[in-house]
Structure 1
Amino acid sequence: MKYYIITGTSSGIGEALAKRILNKEEKNQVISLSRRGNMELEKLAEIRKKSFCFYQLDLRETEKIEVKIKNIFQNITAAQGVYLINNAAILTPVAPVEKNTEREIVDHMTTNLISPMILTSSFIRHTSVLHCDKRILNISSGSAKYLLPSQSCYSTSKAGLDSFTKSVSLEQKEKRQPVRIASVYPGIIETKLQKEIRSVHKDDFPLVHLFQEAYEKGELQTADETANLLLELLFHEEFGEEEIVENLANAKK
């Protein structure tokens, strides 16, 4: 049995990843950590006769993460592989930093960086006794490297996620049974975050037209296409050797 723990499966990449996994012929279980349930995934699991477990969790409530992970691992037995995909993220606030409120900054950094760090820590701790394939895929963004005005929170949280990934990779290389980890820039995808950024007023985000034009020209990837590439990356034999994968489309498959 392969177990996939995925954050943010209510829509977008997380939902597409869960669908791809549930449609696989192999025996697997999708474990969802999300604020909202997804009836479509539950129905698909029932049709495909696969296991789908939903754990309601708001990643801003960091004190609840360890309890959820502990509960999850109490039900993991005879694992062939265990995988954590830190996918959930928020975009707001998108505005010059002086317009960002204290609450917005704290919520953003907690969701995009602190919670993935806690999840990773807990995952590694609980898998230390498992003799199986163990991997973590962190969904980052090109915004970590290519900076734009009005995205100081988003760029900072994703850059922090990349640095965290590299640090954990260094630690795990010294282990006898390491957890392989990588951070990836998935590209520009038509998700809720993209719709959100296209609706930002130009006074708050002067370059909003670039995202609007990319959408109008049909340059955005679909969530399903991206999910397929992400899973190919996750299971590549060299996964983790390159800690930061900047070009998903050209990554080793």
Structure 2
Amino acid sequence: MKHIIITGTSRGIGESLANQFIDPSHHLICISRTVNQGLMARAKELDCHMDYFNYDLTNIGGLDQLCEEIFQRIAVHSSGEAVYLINNAAMLIPVCPIDQLVTEQIVENLHLNLLAPMVITSNFLQLTKHMNVDKRILNISSASAKYILPSQSAYSTAKAGLDTFTKCIDIEQKLAAYPAKAAAVYPGMIDTSLQSDIRSVPAELFPYVNEFIQLSEEGKLHSPEYTASKLIEILVSEDFGKTAIVETID
């Protein structure tokens, strides 16, 4: 049995990832602020083991306890051959120049996009370091970590930090007795709520908004389902972890 932990499963890529992983041979652990009742019903119908944790990942102080509870559930299904972690949950907003942001907006963005993946990964590695099984960490990053646009300073900084963090994990785990593999992936332009958010930003706050609107109107955004299938291909590949940063999924 594969144990697969996925954050941000209420919608978008996270929901599509969970849907495609639903299988009797998998134990899915889903985490999101809003419980996805559709996923739970489908998992029950298809006899897939699923534990769903209704949790706000911006609450960094409770993540240690959350991870303890997750691994208590994993211990129940102790015959696992693999444990995978997909840090997917993210937020784009606020999209505006840094001098117009309030402290709470910056903190919330960095908590969800960077600190939560770091703390969850730290717990994941601590709680699995004795396990001689296939361990993989997939961090969903963004080309915004590399290609900088105005009014996305919080998001771009967080994703650049996530890339660096992934590189650090890669180096450290090469020294571990039972190492985990890690990679950060740029999933491309996807038709999710993050894209909807950026298309709704006034041009005076985000000068490139019309370009994003045009991409949507021309049908150049990938679907969450397509993107999830490509991410799963990367995650289960024999080559996973050979490159710490994967900049394309095509």
TM-score (norm 2): 0.97
Equivalent residue in structure 2 for 1:30, among 10, 15, 28:
28
- SS state at 1:75 partner: helix
Paired residues for 1:129-140 under 5 Å: 129-140=130-141
Aligned structure 1 segments of 4 or more residues deviating by more than 4 angstroms: none
RMSD between superposed Cα atoms in Å: 0.8
1:234 counterpart residue number: 235
Please list, as runs of the form range in 1=range in 2, the aligned pairs for 1:110-125 lying within 5 A after superposition.
Answer: 110-125=111-126
For 2:145, the equivalent position in structure 1 comes to 144
Give 2:55's aligned residue: 57
Q: Secondary structure at the match of 1:89?
A: coil
Residue type of the alignment partner of 1:72? I
**2:4 corresponding residue in structure 1:** 4
Which string of whole-angstrom CA distances, capped at 9 and with x for unpartnered residues, describes residues 116-153 of structure 1? 00000000000112121000000000000000011111
The offset of 1:72, in angstroms, is 1.2
- Whichever residue aligns with residue 49 of structure 2, its letter is S
The one-letter code matched in structure 2 to 1:19 is: N
Q: Name the SS of the counterpart of 2:188 in structure 1.
A: coil
Distance 2:211 2:41 in 1: 38
Match of 1:202? 203
Number of aligned residue pairs: 247
TM-score, normalization by structure 1: 0.96
Q: Is the 8 A contact 2:130 2:178 kept in 1?
A: no
Alpha-carbon separation, structure 1, partners of 2:108 and 2:147: 23
Match of 2:223 in 1: 222
* Gapped regions of structure 2 (runs ≥ 5): none
The amino acid of 2:26's aligned partner reads N
1 CA distance for matches of 2:52 and 2:126? 22
Amino acid at match of 1:171: E
TM-superposed CA distance for 1:41, in Å, is 0.2
What's 1:93 paired with?
94
Whichever residue aligns with residue 135 of structure 2, its letter is K
**What are the residue-to-residue correspondences of 1:160-199 with 2, within 5 Å?**
160-199=161-200
Deviation at 1:176, TM superposition (A): 2.4
- Which of 35, 39, 44 is 1:41 aligned to? 39
